[in-house]
Structure 1
Amino acid sequence: LSSSIPPQIGNLIDVFNLDLSSNMLTGSIPFSLGNMSKLNILHLYENKLSGPIPPSLGNLRNLTDLRLFINRLSGSLPPEMNNIIGLTSLQLSNNNFSGYLPADICKGGALSYLTVSNNRFEGPIPMTLKNCTGLSRLYLHHNQLTGDISHNLGVYPHLWYVDLSFNSLSGTLSPDWGSWHNLTCLKISNNNITGVIRPELGHLSNLQKLDLSSNYLQGEIPKSLGNLAHLYNLSLSNNRLVGEVPMELGRMSNLQLLDLSRNGLTGRIPYQIGTCMKLQLLKLNNNNLSGSIPLEIGNLVHLQEALDLGHNSLTGEIPSQLGKLSMLQYLNLSQNAFTGGLPSSLKDMVSLSVIDVSHNELEGPVPDSPFFRKAPLDWFLHNKGLCGVVKGLPPCVSSATRRNDESKHHKVVVILASMVFILLSLMIVGAALQFRKRKKQSLPVQDNGNREGAFCILSFDGRYAYKDIIEATEDFKDKYCIGTGACGSVYRAELTSGKVLAVKKIHLQEIEDTSNEIPFQNEIQTLTRIRHRNIVKLYGFCSSTRHKFLVYEYMERGSLGSILRSEAAAAELDWVKRVDVVKDVARALSYMHHDCDQPIVHRDITSNNILLDSEFKACVSDFGIARLLQPDSSNWSMIAGTHGYLAPELAYRMRVTTQCDVYSFGVVTLELLIGTYPGEFISVLPSSAAQSSSVKTILDQRVPLPTAEAADEVVAVLRLAIRCVDDNPETRPTMKHIFYKLTTPKTHPNLPSLDSLKLSDLRNGER
């Protein structure tokens, strides 16, 4: 629907439910709606309605659910809205409302869901909210609210989610908030909160996300926060906190993000942080921390986004254990007092896009690898004596020294050659014994109930294929590893026939543990149910006491994430190819969600799980945590997936839906358009400053701007991606709708040219 709402609609006085949402309705809300006195539900969200809310809506005394979010409504809320005392849900976010919130917004005490985020409301939080004991969700973020939060919020036994971020609120954190036992998310960042972090927050046993960053909090970090066993996001950055980092934080086994940066913390980094095995981001920069880096930090093999220890007073040598962080993209150790050399193991950090070790006391050679050869000099300046492959650094040794070293090396080689001969003889005997054992093992696969050789597609016998893979990877040596994920590592295996495969080896625990069997079985069961050109092909699997691995087709260009982190590879991925990648992924997800017997939710769509072949065809991979949506299942689950790509609703309701994949798809699509992870872009997207941003400045600058022909498709992709990362899952499009939009040729004659196009213009386009 694309017209205005006719005033005659007010004649429908016996209607109980009016839903005109998700259309293109324009104009104002008719005054005559106030005549529909029997209305219980009024949904006008996700349209283009403008103007104020008519005071006549105050006549709807029976209204319980009012949703007007994502429109262009403006003005103050009429005081007549205080007459609607039975409201349980009031959702007004993403408009241009101003003025004060109604003083009696919870006069009837029934309000459960209040969302007014991303507007221009000012003044205090209404006092009536303090006694609104039925409140379950409170979204007030991105407004201009003021006042003391410690006096305006009460005790809410049913409260699940609170977001007061990006306002001008003051006051202190109340000890009474420790009684919000159902709370899963508390976000009060970017305000003017003072005082200390209350230890009572450690009583919130269901809390999953705590963000108090960018305030004026003082004192020490309470040890009681270590009791928050379900917490996966803890951000206390940019405050005035002092004291040591509590060792108790190491008890938070589900923690994925820990940001304590920009405070006044002192003492050593507790080694117990190394037990937070799910950490993907660790930021302790801009403090006064001292001592050495704990070796246990090297155990955080899922660190991906950042390890930032810069601007502290850390000493000692950089531990070689950091080389195990093969997924890490950003490493900052600058502005410390580290000594010694750079460990050669840093070459194993294959995902690095930034490493800054400037302003230390380091010396010796920089590791020799393609990444370090292309690294800018700034990352290594102001040290004691670094040398080597980085352009601008001095060479490490003179020619005379090199010849002397070669003479010494010759002697060592002679000795080592003798030792190697003896060892090889022993290994041949051992290998012969092992070969006899392996011949008894095979690679079974189940396909429609029939058990066949795992490599039946390739016409290989399972026993010999198993042997071939072990030999091709030299029993899974690191030099063949091309990627590491949450469930396992992927190896490149070139068989004797010349066929190249990707082998995903599941991590086996040293102690008996069945936890890895679950993702292994999930991936097999999921992939045997689906056959699609944009979903990576499963050729077979092995499950034995020695190994568990899956065998896939090999994708020559690797992951989309690795391509975007490479300057040369990203430049080769022009706009036509990027749009095609988006279409490929949308096609795969649409198939999984809408065309399978039962919908399949991937749950971990990231740029690292999108693989490209030699022709840039994209395939979705890594189904280790995929889930079939059973019709009779509630589909509740613990948090699973990759931080930064997870849908926000998983923080307050752990229900797995296809819309979770839609959000992740939106993040990946924005990453593809921008050229880097779009977390900051998404967080500021609702702001007026972001909306006035030029589209062409947002796009990846490593490739030329799209031609006029390609620009239409790029704009369409960007518009869809922005809709996909909406906080409200109900307003996101489905993957079927997305794929239809991407594959239906359209132009946008009403939009400005790319040179003058702004983000705000995209809200005016066709949905």
Structure 2
Amino acid sequence: MNNQNHQLLLLIKALFFITFISLTDASSRDAAILVRVKSSKLQDPLHKLDDWIESAQNAPCNWTGISCYAHNQDVVSINLAGFNVSGEFPVDFCRISSLRNLDISFNSVGGRITSNSMSLCSHLVSLNLSNNNFIGGLPEFPVQFLNLTILDLSCNNFSGDIPASFVNLPKLQFLSLGSNLLNGSIPEFLSDLTELTQLVLSVNPFRPSPLPANIGRLTRLEALISASTNLVGEIPESVGDLISMKIFDVSQNNLSEKIPESIGKLKNVVQIELYENQLSGELPDTFSNLISLLRFDASENNLTGKIPQSLACLPLESLHLNDNFLEGEIPEVLALSPNLIELRLFNNRLSGVLPENLGKNSDLEEIDVSNNNLEGPLPQNLCYRKKLQYLILFGNRVSGKIPDSYGECSSLIYVRIQENELSGVVPDGLWSFSDLEYIEFANNRLEGSIPPSISKTLEQLLISGNKFSGELPAEICDLQELRKFDSSRNQLSGELPACITKLKHLQELHIQGNRFTGEIPKSVAGWGELTQLDLSENQFSGDIPAELGDLPVLTSLNLSNNLLSGEIPVELTKLKFNEFNVSNNRLQGEIPLGFDTKFFLSSLMGNPDLCSSDLRPFPPCSRSKPVRFVLVVVLSVLAFILVVSFAWLLIKTNNLIIFGSKNLESWKITSFQRVGFDEEQVVASLTHENLIGTGGSGQVYRVTLKNGQTVAAKRLWEPKGLAESEALFRSEIETLGRIRHANIVRLLFSCLSKDFKVLVYNYMENGSLGDVLYGEKGGVLLDWPKRLAIAKGAAQGLAYLHHDCVPAIIHRDVKSNNILLDEEFKPKVADFGLAKMLKHDAMESNVEVMSRIAGSYGYIAPEYGYTMKITEKSDVYSFGVVLMELITGKRPNNPSFGENKNIVKWVTEIALSFPEQGSGNATGSIDVNSLDLILDPRMNPSTIEYRDVEKVLNVALSCTAELPTSRPSMRRVVELLKDHSPARSR
């Protein structure tokens, strides 16, 4: 027995030795493959793979990125995601026969993938090549990949068709091809991959294709993401057979016709995204069985009819039906949903009253029903759960009093209820919530006074066109974030609180059409950002403060129809006014030089005691008549001689480059601001000597006028082969001319002839952000506080274009060179809307023209290359690039980023390598040393607030998200740049 035990022991030892030798050989072989691939195919600039050393103990199973089976130490997984490696596709990794999972996502690996190389990987279960730089066609699968269940090729530069060899992936469950350059058709054979649970095709420039007619064969499919893929035609009836579907997203396409009734069979669906298509007809009343549906978005289509009861009765979290042609009443049953958070029904034809119980049964955060035909009272319980943040219902006929319960809605941030028929007193609480940023009550019948408890966080307070009365409370001076205050056309009275001039961020003050008395405050130095001041149609008395002339950016001053006396301060002539009006007062004395022109005539009338040496009908100021007569004669003769000589010289030297043989009478001039100079002065100065820049849209001239004012005049290129309509040009230019915002450069006037178009703007002393940022002194002139202020100001300008202009304006060419800086480095968005202005239907198919006008290289959002569509989210992406420029001090396509990289990819990759928040420091923020990897080294370190840098970086990353739907709105960007809350879309 002992001999048998001894023999058994020897056998066990032998087997163990043989197994050990076998395991050692396999491990050595795998380690050798890994090291060879690392050395020959990959570059590792961050040295993440430095521990790949064959002689190390337990190699390769303890190496970074390597996982092994526990029982035999065979390599099962290689995960190099986000390691910042580059090079070619490491196909030789697949020579490790035990390998099942290969993930090299979020790197800079590129080149083409051949069909021969891919055949080595047929034993893989999971392959993730997403977020790299691969080019050429998608990889072929020449043999059957019987085990492959996950294939992620998204976010690369693959082009061409989806290969038919994909049918050799019979067990494929997850397929993502999103965010590439695929430009073939969406193939019908995708319906044969019947094991699919997730299919992502979004953001590709496919040829116009319908959804596969037999898509319903994919009965296991849980997510179909095909946004921005150029889908056309109808949504096939077979979608009703997708019984496992949870997310159905075909948004941002050209789908048409009706929504099929079979959509009501998706009993497991949680989210349906149909927005930005051309769907028409009525919403089908077949949603009753979709009890799992939480989010439904069919906005921005051509839908008609009523909101079906079967949809309204579902326990929805969000319902977006805005920008359609829906009519009828909002179903009362909608208010019963226990989940409803967002309700967006704006820009329809809805009528009736808002459901009485809306907000009572759910944590409602946002309601926007603006621009409909709603009437009746406001629901009492809209803020019953104290979660409402956005209350937007302007442009209706809502009437009655604002319920007292709204005065307890402390969660409110944004309130726009203007253009209704509301009456009575506003509950005190509604003025005073701690997070309130925006109030717009304009053009109702509201009354009462502004309470002392008004919120200190307000940025805009717009209450014009009501019956508010009483005095402005002194507490209004505590609103240190206030940027715009408009209480015009009310019954407010008393004197202005002297402390109102301490509102250092105030940009616009409109209090015209009230009953204010007393003198205009003289200590106005605190109004350093004020651009518009309108005190007209009141009862102000006393002198016009000369100190107003020291306000650095004041461009609009209206003091008309008051009781002001004294002289017009000569100090006001230092300002560059777009609007100046002191008519109908009791002013006296000589009109200062600079205001005594025909352009300001109507702005001076109604002051019988004013006089002027030249401006009629004002009487001449008292001086010796013979001397005056001689002076007038001499000046007239000199002027005649100069004009004749100048005209002869211009004709002689052919210096009228702009006009050719045309004269000014052939020009049509439209003024958008009241200006103190002749347009002829500008037009005659558009010569080679004054040329300061040439861009994609035209030539820019710096013109110094006779009154000392400097303007920037842009002569637009005339697009070749484009019969551009004069009426359309003038109409769209007038739209631009009406824009008023402190962070948008002002259009003064336009000049239009048959062959030339000229736009004239205020001149910005410090040029563009790009000029300063990349100049020799960029690091010195732009310290971190200035850069942060520029980011906030530019964001506010773009948010105004997107959210406050009607209709909204999409910039289409946001870049650092289109953000101008005044003498105090305050930003002004320029050239806004120009691309939109020049884009007409006749140009839709002209790719070359479209690429020129729809953005600048390095700033263009990725989806533009796929869809040729520009939305407000394209502006958001470009602004994210600008934020990265401010942080890094690098141009969007700096060669230091490496081949096939831009600033977005470079910053994103470095950010992904940062230590996770909360590890390594007590504050939970990004490590300072990590941020220094991307910070502009030219900045003075003592000016840098790292928490702010981290905040701006996170906003930039959110803005440059690959999918447009993942980017925040510009309104949200403004919010994020002010606080430290996480980014989310709105």
C-alpha deviation, 1:627, in angstroms = 10
Residue number in structure 2 paired with 1:141: 370
Indicate conservation of the 8 Å contact 1:35/1:59, yes or no: yes
Residue number in structure 2 paired with 1:155: 384
C-alpha deviation, 1:57, in angstroms = 2.7
Residue of 582, 585, 610 corresponding to 1:386: 610
Indicate conservation of the 8 Å contact 1:45/1:69, yes or no: yes
Residue of 471, 475, 485 corresponding to 1:248: 475
Residue number in structure 2 paired with 1:308: 534
Indicate conservation of the 8 Å contact 1:534/1:618, yes or no: no
Evaluate the alpha carbon distance shift between residue 97 and residue 390 of structure 1 in structure 2; reply closer, same or farther with a 3 A threshold: farther
C-alpha deviation, 1:695, in angstroms = 11
Indicate conservation of the 8 Å contact 1:662/1:732, yes or no: no
Indicate conservation of the 8 Å contact 2:701/2:713, yes or no: no
C-alpha deviation, 1:8, in angstroms = 2.0
CA deviation vs aligned residue, 1:302-348 (integer Å, no higher than 9, x gap): 112x2111111111110001102231222111111111111011012
1:405-484 alignment, distance < 5 Å: none
Quick one: distance in 1 between partners of 2:745 and 2:530? 15
Instruction: State the one-letter code of the partner of 1:607.
Output: V
Residue of 565, 578, 589 corresponding to 1:339: 565
1:694-709 alignment, distance < 5 Å: none
Residue number in structure 2 paired with 1:44: 274
Residue number in structure 1 paired with 2:294: 64
1:76-91 alignment, distance < 5 Å: 76-85=306-315, 87-91=316-320
1:376 aligns with 2:596: no
C-alpha deviation, 1:153, in angstroms = 2.4
1:185-224 alignment, distance < 5 Å: 185-224=414-453
1:704-715 alignment, distance < 5 Å: none
Quick one: distance in 2 between partners of 1:382 and 1:737? 51
Indicate conservation of the 8 Å contact 2:436/2:457, yes or no: yes
C-alpha deviation, 1:611, in angstroms = 9.8
C-alpha deviation, 1:170, in angstroms = 1.3
Residue number in structure 1 paired with 2:245: 15
Residue number in structure 1 paired with 2:360: 131
Residue number in structure 1 paired with 2:665: none
**Contiguous gaps of at least 5 residues in structure 2:** 1-229, 632-689, 723-740, 748-759, 774-781, 805-810, 820-827, 883-986
1:98 aligns with 2:327: yes
Evaluate the alpha carbon distance shift between residue 636 and residue 713 of structure 1 in structure 2; reply closer, same or farther with a 3 A threshold: closer
Quick one: distance in 2 between partners of 1:50 and 1:147? 29
Indicate conservation of the 8 Å contact 1:260/1:284, yes or no: yes
C-alpha deviation, 1:233, in angstroms = 0.2
Indicate conservation of the 8 Å contact 2:710/2:762, yes or no: no
Helix, strand or coil at the partner of 1:49? strand
Residue number in structure 2 paired with 1:322: 548
Q: Give the RMSD, CA atoms, in angstroms.
A: 5.0
Residue number in structure 2 paired with 1:607: 745
1:239 aligns with 2:466: yes
Evaluate the alpha carbon distance shift between residue 97 and residue 261 of structure 1 in structure 2; reply closer, same or farther with a 3 A threshold: same
Indicate conservation of the 8 Å contact 1:256/1:643, yes or no: no
Indicate conservation of the 8 Å contact 2:543/2:564, yes or no: yes
Indicate conservation of the 8 Å contact 1:263/1:286, yes or no: yes
Instruction: State the one-letter code of the partner of 2:597.
Output: R
Instruction: State the one-letter code of the partner of 2:289.
Output: N
Instruction: State the one-letter code of the partner of 2:419.
Output: N
Quick one: distance in 2 between partners of 1:353 and 1:260? 22
Residue number in structure 2 paired with 1:507: none
C-alpha deviation, 1:106, in angstroms = 3.2
Indicate conservation of the 8 Å contact 2:583/2:604, yes or no: yes
C-alpha deviation, 1:389, in angstroms = 6.6
1:607-686 alignment, distance < 5 Å: 607=745, 620=770, 640-641=793-794, 645-646=798-799, 668-669=830-831
Evaluate the alpha carbon distance shift between residue 621 and residue 193 of structure 1 in structure 2; reply closer, same or farther with a 3 A threshold: farther
Helix, strand or coil at the partner of 2:499? helix
CA deviation vs aligned residue, 1:53-103 (integer Å, no higher than 9, x gap): 111133322111111111111110111113312x10111111111101111
Indicate conservation of the 8 Å contact 2:529/2:553, yes or no: yes
1:258 aligns with 2:485: yes
CA deviation vs aligned residue, 1:392-425 (integer Å, no higher than 9, x gap): 344434345979xx9xxxxxxxxxxxxxxxxxxx
Quick one: distance in 2 between partners of 1:196 and 1:621? 52
CA deviation vs aligned residue, 1:497-545 (integer Å, no higher than 9, x gap): xxx9x9xxxxxxxxxxxxxxxxxxxxxxxxxxxxx9989xxxxxxxxxx
Residue number in structure 2 paired with 1:283: 510
Indicate conservation of the 8 Å contact 1:611/1:621, yes or no: no
C-alpha deviation, 1:735, in angstroms = 3.7
Quick one: distance in 2 between partners of 1:233 and 1:736? 23
Residue number in structure 2 paired with 1:24: 254
Indicate conservation of the 8 Å contact 1:282/1:307, yes or no: yes
Indicate conservation of the 8 Å contact 1:263/1:287, yes or no: yes
- The structure showing larger relative contact order (alpha-carbon pairs under 8 Å, at least 6 residues apart) is 1
Residue of 340, 343, 352 corresponding to 1:111: 340
Helix, strand or coil at the partner of 1:342? coil
Instruction: State the one-letter code of the partner of 1:312.
Output: N
CA deviation vs aligned residue, 1:16-46 (integer Å, no higher than 9, x gap): 1111111122222111111111111100111
Quick one: distance in 2 between partners of 1:733 and 1:24? 23
CA deviation vs aligned residue, 1:235-294 (integer Å, no higher than 9, x gap): 111001111121210110000000010011111111121111111110010011111101
Residue of 702, 711, 736 corresponding to 1:557: 702
Helix, strand or coil at the partner of 1:8? helix
Higher CA-based Rg:
2
Quick one: distance in 2 between partners of 1:361 and 1:628? 43
C-alpha deviation, 1:383, in angstroms = 0.3
Residue number in structure 1 paired with 2:495: 268
- % identity of equivalent residues: 27
Indicate conservation of the 8 Å contact 2:614/2:620, yes or no: no
Residue of 352, 361, 371 corresponding to 2:586: 361
Instruction: State the one-letter code of the partner of 1:356.
Output: N
CA deviation vs aligned residue, 1:713-745 (integer Å, no higher than 9, x gap): 799779x99x99x99965867449999xxxxxx
State the TM-score, normalized to the length of structure 1.
Answer: 0.58
Evaluate the alpha carbon distance shift between residue 214 and residue 389 of structure 1 in structure 2; reply closer, same or farther with a 3 A threshold: farther
Quick one: distance in 2 between partners of 1:712 and 1:48? 25
Evaluate the alpha carbon distance shift between residue 731 and residue 638 of structure 1 in structure 2; reply closer, same or farther with a 3 A threshold: closer
State the TM-score, normalized to the length of structure 2.
Answer: 0.46
Quick one: distance in 2 between partners of 1:83 and 1:49? 22
CA deviation vs aligned residue, 1:179-206 (integer Å, no higher than 9, x gap): 3222211111111111112212244100
Residue of 227, 230, 233 corresponding to 2:457: 230
